[in-house]
Chain A
Amino acid sequence: MTVIEARGLRKTFGTTVAVDGINLHVDEGHILGLIGPNGAGKSTALNAILGLTQYQGELRVLGREPWTERELLMRDVCFIADVAVLPRWLRVSQALDYVEGVHSRFDRAKAESFLAKTDIKPTSKVRELSKGMVTQLHLALVMAIDARLLVLDEPTLGLDILYRKQFYDSLLNDYFDRSRTILVTTHQVDELQHVLTDLMFINRGRIVLACTMEEFESRYLEVAVLPDKLAAARALKPIHERQVLGRSILLFDGVDRQQLAALGDVRTPTIADLFVAVMGNPASQSQAHAQGATR
Chain B
Amino acid sequence: MSTPPNAMPPQSTLHAQPPAPRAIPPTQVFLWSVRRELWEYRSIYIAPLIVAALIIFGFLISTVHLPSKMRAAMALGPMQQQEFIEKPYDFAALLLMGTTFLVAIFYSLDALYGERRDRSILFWKSLPVSDVTTVLSKASIPIVVLPLLTFVITFATQWIMLLINSAVLIANGMSVAPLWSHLTLVHTFFMIFYHLLAIHGLWYAPIYAWLLLVSAWARRAPFLWAALPPLVIGVLEKIAFNSSHFVSLLGSSVAGPDEPTSTAGQMSMDALTQPAPSHFLLSPHLWLGLATAAIFLAIAIRLRRNREPI
Interface residues, chain A, with chain B CB atoms under 8 Å away: 1-2, 28, 47, 50, 52-54, 62-64, 70-72, 74-76, 78-82, 84-91, 94, 97-99, 101-105, 107, 138, 146, 148, 177-179
Known: A72-B128, A87-B118. A1 touches B21 (CB 8 A): no
Most B Cβ at <10 Å: residue of A72, A87, A97 = A87
A101 near B22 (CB under 8 angstroms)?
no
Q: Could you pull out 27 A-B pairs where Cβ atoms are within 8 angstroms?
A: A1-B9, A47-B308, A50-B126, A63-B1, A63-B2, A64-B2, A74-B127, A75-B21, A79-B122, A79-B126, A81-B122, A85-B121, A86-B120, A87-B120, A87-B123, A97-B32, A101-B24, A101-B28, A101-B31, A101-B32, A102-B33, A102-B128, A104-B21, A104-B128, A107-B19, A138-B123, A146-B21
B241 in contact (CB, < 8 A): no
Task: Pick out which of these stretches binds chain A: B10-18, B209-217, B260-268.
Answer: B10-18
A177 near B123 (CB under 8 angstroms)?
no
Chain B residue at smallest Cβ distance from A81? B122
Chain B residues near A85 (CB-CB < 8 A) = 119-123, 309
Chain A residue at smallest Cβ distance from B17? A146
A72 near B39 (CB under 8 angstroms)?
no
B36 in contact (CB, < 8 A): yes
Query: When chains A and B are docked, how far (Å) is the Cα of A63 from the Cα of B22?
Result: 22
Chain B residue at smallest Cβ distance from A88? B118
B12 near A146 (CB under 8 angstroms)?
no
Chain B residues near A53 (CB-CB < 8 A) = 306, 308
A102 near B129 (CB under 8 angstroms)?
yes
Interface string of B36-80 (1 = CB under 8 A from A): 100110000000000000000000000000000000000000000
Known: A1-B9, A63-B2. A82 touches B128 (CB 8 A): no
B12 near A63 (CB under 8 angstroms)?
no
A101 near B5 (CB under 8 angstroms)?
no
B10 near A179 (CB under 8 angstroms)?
yes
Known: A1-B9, A63-B3, A85-B120. A70 touches B125 (CB 8 A): yes
Chain A residues near B2 (CB-CB < 8 A) = 63-64
Interface string of B162-199 (1 = CB under 8 A from A): 00000000000000000000000000000000000000
B18 near A103 (CB under 8 angstroms)?
no
User: What is the total number of residues of chain B having a CB less than 8 Å from a CB of chain A?
Assistant: 41
Q: Which 6 A-B pairs have the closest CB atoms?
A: A101-B32, A87-B120, A63-B1, A71-B130, A104-B21, A74-B128
Chain B residue at smallest Cβ distance from A67? B305
B105 in contact (CB, < 8 A): no
Chain A residues near B31 (CB-CB < 8 A) = 101
B294 in contact (CB, < 8 A): no
Chain B residues near A99 (CB-CB < 8 A) = 127
B90 in contact (CB, < 8 A): no
Tell which of A70, A72, A104, A138 touches B23, judged by Cβ atoms closer than 8 Å.
Answer: A104
A81 near B126 (CB under 8 angstroms)?
yes
For the complex formed, measure the closest distance between the CB of B97 and the CB atoms of chain A, giving whole angstroms. 27
Query: When chains A and B are docked, how far (Å) is the Cα of A177 from the Cα of B267?
Result: 66
A74 near B123 (CB under 8 angstroms)?
no
Known: A89-B39, A107-B18. A179 touches B11 (CB 8 A): yes
For the complex formed, measure the closest distance between the CB of A78 and the CB atoms of chain B, giving whole angstroms. 6
A71 near B21 (CB under 8 angstroms)?
no
A75 near B5 (CB under 8 angstroms)?
yes
Chain A residues near B5 (CB-CB < 8 A) = 72, 75-76
Chain B residues near A62 (CB-CB < 8 A) = 3
